[in-house]
Amino acid sequence: MWDTIFPYLLSGISVGGQYALIAIGYTMVYGILRLINFAHGDVFMVAGIIMVYIAASGVPLWVSVPAVLVITALVGFLIERVAYKPLRTAPRMSAMISAIGVSYTLQNLVLYITGGLNKQYPAIPLISDSIKIGSATTKVVTVVTPVLVILLVVALVTLINKTKIGMAMRAVSKDFETAQLMGIKINSVISTTFVIGSFLAGVGSVLYFTNYPTVIQTSGAMPGLKAFVAAVFGGIGSIPGAVIGAFIIGIMENLIKGLDVILFKAGLITKPLGLAIFSDAFTFALLIIILVVKPTGLFGEKTTDKV
């Protein structure tokens, strides 16, 4: 029984870690701007495409990976400056529509550049090798991901709690206007948030596409949405919440993918039910349930609306 479940659990933890890296970007931006950055999943996809093209130019790995991360961070910065900054004082709906527009633009741009073809993601030595853990054979990236996620989260939490820019971020997310009155440069804080979020999405994309080795213009949409659900599940605005939510969603999703096999091996069903296709739907069902039962998520702060 355990031997059947274990491989699914393992890939669940791995995918969960990759979602976590995207989810942090969502939760940080939402915490500060109260904006669902619909384009964040596409930034993640763009990071994948950039890696494809940089690797094709033949530069060594120790150049290409950092280059991808820097360019992705830059993309995030530019998106914020071009598409969100002009709408700072506009109603929230305008900013959200702008985010959807950016998502549409990024997808079409990548469609144009790639010609709509699946692009093979370059194999990254070390993390795309196979290893055997217990009964399961998997790629090294599966083991690396959760470790790397935890390291990055610790670093990020330290940044937010101990540094000056972190303090500014906390202040801005607490109260936008007052923070501005206290002399905090709102725009640079917001830019920093986008840079950090995009950087982490870049890291996530390197890990994710090592497991799912092709990139196409729509590859970012689903992981993006799931990461957002994870952020809501954990309590939007809370970084540990987003990470835990992402791991839970990653694991549950993979268990559902294997549910047919697991139930069959356990002797509960005699023929496959085709439940695997519900792995995506489950995430959204979970979202609706959590929004109804506990809208603030697992670790979210309770907010009160003032008239």
Give residue for tokens 């217990």: 134
Q: Is 130 helix (H, G, I), strand (E, B) or coil?
A: strand
Minimum distance between the CB of residue 61 and other proteins, rounded to whole angstroms?
30
- CA–CA separation, 206 vs 124, rounded Å? 9
Sign of CA dihedral 238, 240, 246, 252: negative
- For other proteins, the closer of residues 131 and 285 by Cβ is 285
- CA–CA separation, 76 vs 55, rounded Å? 21
* Residue 277: burial class (beta carbons within 10 Å; 0-12, 13-18, 19+): exposed
- For other proteins, the closer of residues 74 and 281 by Cβ is 281
Minimum distance between the CB of residue 254 and other proteins, rounded to whole angstroms?
16
- For other proteins, the closer of residues 50 and 106 by Cβ is 106
- For other proteins, the closer of residues 131 and 288 by Cβ is 288
Angle between helices 40-56 and 2-33 (to 10 degrees): 110
**DSSP string covering 62-83, please?**
HHHHHHHHHHHHHHHHHHIIII
Minimum distance between the CB of residue 119 and other proteins, rounded to whole angstroms?
14
CB 134 within 8 A of CB 127: no
Give residue for tokens 């069903």: 269
- For other proteins, the closer of residues 117 and 154 by Cβ is 117
Residue 129 makes CB contacts below 8 A (sequence gap 6+) with 139, 140
Minimum distance between the CB of residue 271 and other proteins, rounded to whole angstroms?
11
Name the site residues for other proteins (rule: CB under 8 A): 34-36, 82-83, 86-87, 90, 92-94, 96-98, 100-105, 107-109, 111-112, 115-116, 218, 221, 225, 228-229, 232, 273-274, 277-278, 280-281, 283-285, 287-288, 291-292, 295, 307
- For other proteins, the closer of residues 113 and 131 by Cβ is 113
Q: 215: which strand partners? A: 119
